[in-house]
Amino acid sequence: MAVGRDDAALLPMLLTLARRITARHDLDDVLAETFRCLRPLVKFGGGSIQLVDEEGWIQMAAADPAAPDHVMAHRVPLGGSVAGRVILTEHPIYLPDLEDDERPRSRTAVSSGVRSYFAVPLIADGQAIGILQVDSPTPSAWTDAQRLVFASVAPVVAAAIQNARAHARAASARIQARSADRKLAEARALATTIRACLEAGDPEALDRQLQRLEGLLGEVADVRHLDLRLAEARVAVG
């Protein structure tokens, strides 16, 4: 349904969207569910979620309809795009008709055939982590109320993205911690073997076992660090 046709039904739909998106703990699931929930709320031609990576570049994280692999892999600097301007200013940008917009960056920022463009920042932990963007082949495609729907959804999406990332960090830390525990167990077993080599007076066997022990100890040198990361990840997940 479109906003304005039955405003009384909008709030329950937004609450359902929040419940469904925040119930996902995998990032890809969060992004896919976002567009599944948005489609019934407001009409748009195409949409995307673009996120800032660890190096400060913007990369496509999800697109609806699905985008080609080379589009998904493409990265752009913050300072050279409309998306970057949304992230840097932390303010939405609405271009009601790209054919009437004199800014060359605006006309080249989206696919051909697009007339309307709207992007809102995804803000979490006090900063913009990306954008939620929609476009349409129709000029002036959305009313103020319809753009407000996108803006109201953005904080939910941003929070769900950060939650999914926290779950991924926690899962990674648990895997690494289990690996470290296994290696420590191996090191303890080697210590027993080394004692046996000493008692037997076998220098060659002792040297081999010491080399194995040295390699294992190097691999588990960060065990305490891994434990701390796991604890931090658990706190982040809540």
Q: Strands 127-136 and 46-52, how do they pair?
A: antiparallel
Q: In this structure, are 218 and 108 located in the same domain? A: no
Which is more confident, 92 or 222?
Answer: 92
pLDDT at 205: 80
Q: In this structure, are 39 and 155 located in the same domain? A: yes
Q: Is residue 79 a part of any domain in this protein?
A: yes
Domain that holds residue 110: 7-163
pLDDT at 3: 45
pLDDT tops 80 at residue 149 = yes
**Domain's final residue, options 142, 163, 184:** 163
What confidence tens digit (pLDDT) does each residue in 7-32 have?
667 888 889 899 999 999 999 999 99
What total of structural domains would you count in the chain? 2
pLDDT tops 60 at residue 221 = no
The CATH number of the domain where 109 resides is what?
3.30.450.40
Q: In this structure, are 29 and 109 located in the same domain? A: yes
Q: Is residue 2 a part of any domain in this protein?
A: no
**Domain's final residue, options 106, 138, 163:** 163
Q: Is residue 1 a part of any domain in this protein?
A: no
**Domain's final residue, options 163, 189, 204:** 163
Q: In this structure, are 98 and 201 located in the same domain? A: no
Q: In this structure, are 95 and 151 located in the same domain? A: yes
pLDDT at 2: 43
Q: In this structure, are 15 and 109 located in the same domain? A: yes
Q: In this structure, are 109 and 222 located in the same domain? A: no
What confidence tens digit (pLDDT) does each residue in 61-91 have?
999 999 999 999 999 998 878 999 999 999 9
pLDDT at 121: 97
pLDDT at 230: 45
pLDDT tops 50 at residue 5 = no
DSSP 30-93: HHHHHHHHHTTTS--SEEEEEEE-TTSEEEEEEEESPPPHHHHH-EEEGGGSHHHHHHHHT--E
